[in-house]
Structure 1
Amino acid sequence: MTASPPRPPGPRSRSPLGQAAALRADPIGYMRHLRTAYGDVFTMRIGPREVLMLCDPQAAREVLVEKAASFRKGRGIQKMRDFLGSGLLTAEGQEWRTHRRLMQPAFHRAALTGMAADIMEATRPMLGRLEAAAHSGQPVELAGEMLRVTLRAITAVLFGTGLSDEELEAVERQLPPLLERTTQRVRAIVDVPAHWPTPANRRAQVSGAALDAVVARIIAQRRTAPEPGTDLLGMLLAARDEDGRGGLTDREIRDEVMTLFLAGHETTATLLTFLFLEFARHPDIQARAREEVRTVLGTRDPDAADARGLPYLNACIQEALRLYPPAWIVPRQATEAVTVSGYLLPAGANVSINIFLMQRSPLAWPQPESFDPQRWLSGTRPPDAFMPFGAGARMCIGNHLAQLEATLISAALLRDLNFDVPGSGPTGLSPSVTLKAGGPVMAQVSRMGG
């Protein structure tokens, strides 16, 4: 008699919802509990779906690198197609490979150098608001400020000066509710098709149509221009195969632009929010980072070269990425029978790599819950236990752009301003499509002398 293959450990439930209620009440806390009880590889059931949860670096590497061909993006990401279309985040197979090859040169470090000035220009309105808050003594809500500045930054990087003030305001107004609707659909246990005429779907369709109109106008304008432009959109328009043929259609460029809005906006904003929350909780770390910024920059604006010349600030950013990875969980679905961590999974099995728990593992990181930038200056770190941008061929193409944005914006803020969050801010976390603080982050801003 052939023995049955081993099943991964995990809680059992007779409820038709499985562990959905516990996950909704406290996702991070409940998953911590399951890892303590069952180890770094366990299963849980969410409604009718069983999910294999991986908090182990080697198991994550199996899925994302060694056996990546046996997996596709998970169910939640598939549902993002309604908004994002078939961009790099949602595309599969040959379509994804073609787009990745065409787009890769636009995200090389050399190509990003020219984007630093656009990012800094987008930061100036926020600097003005924070200076005014420092003068008036009024607190500011950091998450909202970071969302505004990163949206302005990615819009500037994408379109340069190609947007009118009215179009920029339309992007700032229409993108957040569309992202919120996408989040609701990703989290829903029961799918409500995007084409059903519910009030939420109708609002999302209006926002989507408004954004599409802005992007379509810019693409059409660039198609007829003598040169496509030197911003990111121009690079996408000019992208060609090695033999000079091919290129992306208007629809494909639209999908990639929408994907970049998401990837270069909310994720970087949450990183910056947590970074400055930790600066407020550790005034000595904030002061050391500020001293480095002032020493390197003097009175000038940071540029792309400075993004590599501020080692302590970059260590702070890496530590914030470790503790608070914006893409905190990475879903995958098996396309064929495959073995992961010794367990045989059938085609269609759902797998999630829990980046948050993996990057806080006491097996990989000394004092894993502590914000300690110094650990990044020692020259050693655990292999594979840090992957905030994923791993393998589908690692986030915008990882260097996101880190450039975070470094330039944080350097500009730190040089002349100090941030204090009375009461240390919210202690809880809100894990949705991206990881956010569990409540408003109200900061008191003050002007630094010198």
Structure 2
Amino acid sequence: MSVEQTGPLPVVAIVGRPNVGKSTLVNRILGRRAAVVQDTPGVTRDRIAYEALWNGKRFTLVDTGGWDPKAAGLGASITRQAEYAMNTADVIVFVVDSSVGATDTDLAAARILRRADRPVVLVANKVDDERSEANAAELWSLGLGEPNPVSALHGRNSGDLLDLILDAMPEAPREQEEEGGPRRVALVGRPNVGKSSLLNRLAKDERSVVDSVAGTTVDPVDSIVTLGGEEWRFVDTAGLRRKVSTASGTEYYASLRTEAAIQAAEVAIVLLAADEVISEQDQRVITQVIEAGRALVLAINKWDTLDEDRHFQLEKEVERDLSRVKWASRVNISAKTGRGVDKLAQHLRAALASWETRVPTAELNTYVRQLVQETPPPARGGRAPRIKYVTQADVRPPRFVVFSTGFLEAGYRRFLERKLRERYGFDGSPIVVSVKVQSGRGSDKKS
């Protein structure tokens, strides 16, 4: 059966309050453990998109963070999540824990979803057997139509649910605006590298308090700045206020704000201080950006303060300590004097373009076949695996899946990534290369 589709894919958003089983349902639909599942509410914090397939139909599945009834500003939180689902999805899947019943949070969400101008599929999750179906019937009270009893954990009725989702999809997906507005940029880095000074320079205003004491910035606000003739939104990191009974100081909260900023952004500017050695904390921030799958620009600040010896030493540090992100876009700046700051716009645009690049399947396979002929995968256990097919499963960031008859060593996967970068660039964007092993008819596994 052909599954080749051109143009944007229909979007299915999975929404609901925390710990109702949204990520478990996502994994069930995908047929693999992609979303992180834990017996703790609030594990999923960001909206994470996956490409899914059912009955020959491809669609984008979006796992959303839960609505926490104990969080400050419950109404705002519910509205933000529900409006995102209504504005960007073609089908909304609203998940409720049938073993608990409809809570006040569920009722508040349902009131918003009833006004949606697109189909809503109500899922009564955790219906593990026929005896539990009576609980599901009580969810008619939400006013969203018939509750569909499902056990995401055990797979009960999941096929029927997928059929309903496909039936609810429009013939053509609505145009996606990716939330619209200026592109979202996270300005991150360890304390006292000059983030506030740079933001003030970009905004041409004293937006942030600047002090030589590290950690001065506590609750920065969103800033719209004009850079390179274009507006950019430097994302708010203050929305992660939470009551922590065992706080471990300013650095702990700074780490939480950094994580929130990265997750809310499309591209991150990681600011490094040219007059200081690249530290473990710098490395952690860069790792957060890569693991979040965001585009990356490295900005080395205080460049104007360097003497010749430090300049030479810094180049050696970059070569040694940042070798894993050679693909990252890099610009040398001075937030204090404005030197090089205008160059940030072109680096941001280039990184975002790479982040959103999709390689045509036919072209990709032609290139990879040529690579494999010239440099075949090393044998493992006496047999060399054979690469059957390669596809780009997603963008933002680009994700490639290699279908192989055997396990591909990490070194060979790195070789494929390097060659993909040599051919297609991807400057400023992480890319993911995973391998799906097809060892025999009807059996496969992910490596």
TM-score (norm 2): 0.23
Larger Rg: 2
Higher relative contact order (CA 8 A, sep 6+): 1
Structure with greater strand percent: 2
Structure with greater helix percent: 1
TM-score (norm 1): 0.23
